[in-house]
Amino acid sequence: MLSRARVYVLKSLDEAALRQLVDRALTEERGLGNRHLTLGDEAFSTLLAAADGDGRRMLNLLENASDLAEDGSEIEPELLQSLLGDSRRRFDKGGEAFYDQISALHKSIRGSNPDAALYWFARMIDGGCDPLYLARRVVRMASEDIGNADPRALPLCMSAWDVQERLGSPEGELAVAQAIVYLACAPKSNAVYMGFKMAMREATEHGSLEVPLHLRNAPTKLMKQLGYGEEYRYAHDEPDAYAAGEDYFPDELEPRQYYQPVPRGLELKIGEKLKHLAALDRASPRQRRK
C-alpha cells in the first residue's frame, strides 16, 4: 500500500524570527562568526524590507554584503542599498531573487556558456545591481573555477574590476563583461579551491604544530646553536633546483597532497611536473625526519 506523501507549507518569518536568524549567522562559527561583523537597526530594517519574510533571501543578501565588508566592521545601510540598487524589482515577492541570479551567472561561467553568462550579467545590471559587487564576484570565480588551468584569468578580472572603479559605467561594465566571457571560455579547474579548503580544514583540526627545526629562520647566534636551519637544503644548489626527498610538513603531519591539478589547460603541464618531482622524491635515499 502506498503511503501518503507529506506536504509542507512554508510560511513567511516574522521580524523576531528573522532577527534571530541574522544574529545566529553573524555569531556562529559555521556562519560569519569568524568575521566579527555587526549589523545595526537601520541596516537590519533594510534587510527586513528586502527579504519580505524569506529567511533564505535575507541570509543570502547578508552573505553578499559580508563579502564587501571588512572583518570586524559594521555592515552599513549604504552597503546594503548599493547591493539592492535603485530598483527593488529583483526582490519583489513574485520576481526572481538576487541570489538565484548570481547563482545562475556563476553556474553559466562554470558550465562554459558565455552567452548565458552575459544574459545573467545583463539581467543583474538592468535590475540595479552594483557593478562593483559583480566585478568582485567575478574575481572570486576566476580563482574558484578557473584557477591554474588558465592563470591569466585572475589578472584579467582584476583589471576589469579596476576599470569599473576608475571609469564607472558603461566602460566598466563592458570590461567586466569581457572578463565574464573569458572565464566562461577558459579551461576549468577547482583544484586550488579544493586544495585550499582541505588545507584549511587540517590546519584547524591539528592546531599549532611546530615548524621543523630545519625550516626555521636563524637570525641570531642562539638560534643557530639551537639547531634552527640546520640540514636545510637550498633548492637552487640542488640538481634541477629541486631538493628531492626534502620534507616541508610539520613532524607530526605526514606529507599529503592537497593540490591535485586537473588534466586541462596549464594544469595539464603542472600535473606532469609534479608527477616528475614525486618520482624524484621516491627515488631519493633521504628519509623523512623522525
- Position 11 scores a pLDDT of 59
Nearest to 260 by CA among 160, 189, 162, 209: 189
Three-class SS state of 38 = strand
Per-residue pLDDT of the chain (290 residues; tens, 9 = 90+): 455 656 544 556 788 888 888 888 888 877 788 888 888 888 888 888 877 777 888 888 888 888 888 888 888 888 888 777 644 444 343 345 678 889 999 999 999 999 999 999 998 998 788 899 999 999 999 999 999 999 999 999 999 999 999 999 899 999 999 999 999 999 999 999 999 999 999 999 998 999 999 999 988 989 988 889 888 999 999 999 999 989 999 999 999 999 999 999 999 999 999 999 999 999 988 755 54
Nearest to 228 by CA among 253, 209, 211: 211
Give this prediction's pTM: 0.66
Q: One fold for both 15-84 and 98-185?
A: no
Domain-by-domain residue ranges, the chain?
15-84, 98-185, 207-283
Q: Which fold has domain 15-84?
A: Helicase, Ruva Protein; domain 3 (1.10.8)
The total of other beta-carbon atoms located within 10 Å of residue 67's CB is: 13
Task: Please check whether residue 176 is in contact with residue 120, taking contact to mean a CB–CB distance below 8 angstroms.
Answer: no
- Position 90 scores a pLDDT of 44
Does domain 207-283 fall into CATH 1.25.40? no
d(CA 61, CA 84): 9
CA dihedral 92, 96, 101, 104 (to 10 degrees): 170
Q: Which fold has domain 98-185?
A: Zinc Finger, Delta Prime; domain 3 (1.20.272)
Nearest to 190 by CA among 225, 150, 244: 150
Nearest to 98 by CA among 32, 54, 37, 161: 54
Q: Please calculate the CA angle 41-45-46 and round it to the nearest 5 degrees.
A: 120
Which residues are CB-neighbours of 53 under 8 A, at least 6 positions away?
12, 13, 14, 18
- Position 85 scores a pLDDT of 62
Three-class SS state of 74 = strand
| Radius of gyration of the chain measured on its C-alpha atoms | 25
Task: Please check whether residue 219 is in contact with residue 155, taking contact to mean a CB–CB distance below 8 angstroms.
Answer: no
d(CA 107, CA 154): 18
Give the pLDDT confidence of 201-250 residue by residue, as tens digits.
999 999 899 999 999 998 898 998 888 988 899 999 999 999 998 999 99
The total of other beta-carbon atoms located within 10 Å of residue 246's CB is: 18
Nearest to 165 by CA among 205, 193, 187, 136: 136
d(CA 65, CA 57): 12
